[in-house]
Amino acid sequence: MTLKKTMSPSETMLDKIWREHVIVATPGGEELLFVDLNLLHEGGTFFAFDQLRAEQRTVRKPKLNLAVTDHYLPSLNRAAGVGAIPNPEIRNVVQWLGENAREFDIAHIGPDDPRQGIIHVIGPELGLTQPGLLITCCDSHTATQGAMGSLAIPIGQSNQLRHVLATQTIWQKKPKQMRVRIDGRLSPHVTSKDIILCLIAQIGIGGASGHAIEYCGSVIREMSVEARLTICNMSIEAGARIGMIASDDYTYEYLSGRLFSPVGADWDQALAYWQTLKTAEDAQFDQELSLDAGAISPMVSWGTSPEDSMPIDGRVPDPQLIQDADRRMRVQRALEYMQLQPGTPLSSIAIDKVFLGSCTNGRIEDLRAAAQVVEGRRAVIPAIVVPGSTGVKRQAEAEGLDHIFKSAGFEWRDASCSMCGGSNGDMLERGQRSASTTNRNFEGRQGPGAMTHIMSPAMAAGAAIFGRLTDVRTLGRS
């Protein structure tokens, strides 16, 4: 990895999109931006609606807002309806979103909608997420949608969301910009999840703090849209609130024919505009990083932060060998929580449960990769598959992936955020250890006292088959 600091008057992709959305600027550097699309889910957003009622306000542009039920929605027994959700708090939160959406005339993709899914999955899937749009969402992983060439900004669930709903604008200070260039050739079984975990392990969870990241390079150019979404999804785990990838022919092919994509003359006009949004060749950034793709191996986390990740053939680090006192104390605490001993081979760590899903790795390509590993094999520990959307689930079933998983002993569930954060009740028991395709491994993320190892779908599938963290490269399948 190389690092340098530069400045340039030429416009980056972020510069171009930002400039076109500025309404007014303040001397202090904050700018009022117009929001093309605001997405919201059920978690905590009822506070914003309560504020609107108290202030007797309406939603300024209801058609530019979309509510999606995903975080609290059960992944089991969906046919029984929302009223059958046993936990009254979860049931209330799910019901409140539908009620608030109806009252304020906001379109709602609810539990029974065939388009339902995780908000960051269905945005691109439905063609709502398009290059050049400024998108806000009350969720930290909003950066996912920047992989489509949009400017996607996470906002708070109460005051900031209230402001967007009431005005269709948001106050923001333009971030510094970082470019991450990934060149070379990926080795077999190395995925976009491994790339982003490798980056975070190198720069730390604060390495991109205050910056928007633009990802580029030969590896990104050759990467599918779904893989790019995984990269941008975890930008927040490196400290950045914004992650972006320039749109190209892969993007346009992906968007063509989607439910909300433009058609006919509108498509031609949109395409002509999208193609103008690339970063200028001579544009420079506040920081630039370079990664050699050939040096990246399948990654797995060992601690309680995404930066606590290393290649699967590594060993649990020894905090006594770390010179920095703060880092040494944090690693020691992580090992105590994770109940791991220094020097333990990662590939020997036993796993209690596997989770395949989330806005990071719940798309059809992710399920295909996992199914390829488990086909003809049998899981030796409990494992659940939760597609990122109802559309992904339908496609997987049409391809027979559900039969592969079920034959291998995996549970096949309905689309939901599920065990990523456990808002819907899908959690580990205290003291259990998971192999998970999610984006975070914080203390208690998947339940009080639960221990989470994050990795790619193929790696998680391997863990289910062998009951321990497993190097997918040893399984003999490409």
Residue 290 binned pLDDT confidence (cut-offs 50, 70, 90): very high
Instruction: Output the pLDDT for position 2.
Output: 42
Adjacency order of strands within the sheet including 151-154: 107-109, 65-68, 37-40, 134-137, 151-154
Could you tell me the pLDDT band of residue 3, with boundaries at 50, 70 and 90?
very low
To which H or E segment does residue 31 belong? strand 30-34
Q: Please check whether residue 57 is in contact with residue 407, taking contact to mean a CB–CB distance below 8 angstroms.
A: no
Strands 169-173 and 176-183: unpaired
**What pLDDT, on the 0 to 100 scale, is given for residue 332?**
98
pLDDT at residue 476 greater than cutoff 90? no
Model pLDDT for residues 92-137, shown as the tens digit of each residue: 999 999 999 999 999 999 999 999 999 999 999 999 999 999 999 9
* 451-454 and 151-154 beta bridge pairing: unpaired
Sequence length of the chain is 478
Q: Is the pTM of this model over 0.75?
A: yes
Higher-confidence position of 476 and 24: 24
Provide the mean pLDDT of the chain.
Answer: 96
User: What is the structure's pLDDT at 9?
Assistant: 65
Identify the sign of the CA torsion 344, 346, 351, 355.
Answer: positive
Cβ–Cβ under 8 Å, residues 468 and 330: no
User: How confident is the model at residue 44, as a pLDDT?
Assistant: 84
Q: For position 478, what pLDDT does the model report? A: 58
d(CA 28, CA 297): 44
- Tell me the pLDDT tens digit for each residue of 55-102: 999 999 999 999 999 999 999 999 899 999 999 999 999 999 999 999
- Six token digits for residue 398: 């049409």
Domains, the chain, ordered by start: 2-9+176-247+279-295 (3.40.1060.10), 13-173 (3.30.499.10), 300-474 (3.30.499.10)
Distance CA 101, CA 62 (A): 9
Distance CA 170, CA 163 (A): 7
Range name among 2-11, 14-23, 406-415 with the lowest pLDDT average:
2-11
What is the arithmetic mean of pLDDT over 160-188? 97
Give me the residue label for tokens 């995404």.
306
pLDDT of residue 354: 98
Question: pLDDT band at 8, cuts 50/70/90?
Answer: very low
- Asked whether residue 6 carries a pLDDT value surpassing 70, the answer given is no
Q: Considering Cα of 116, then 74, then 453, then 383, what sign does the dihedral take?
A: negative
| pLDDT above 50: residue 264 | yes
352-391: pLDDT as tens digits:
999 999 999 999 999 999 999 999 999 999 999 999 999 9
Q: What per-residue confidence (pLDDT) applies to 427?
A: 97
Q: How many CA atoms lie within 13 A of 117 on its CB side?
A: 26
CA nearest 408: which of 384, 376, 437? 376
- pLDDT tens figures, 210-256: 999 999 999 999 999 999 999 999 999 999 999 999 999 999 999 99
Of 129, 173, 131, 143, give the one whose Cα is nearest residue 278: 131
The pLDDT value recorded for residue 134 is 98
| The two structure tokens encoding residue 30 | 């904050």
Q: What mean pLDDT comes out for the span 196-201?
A: 98
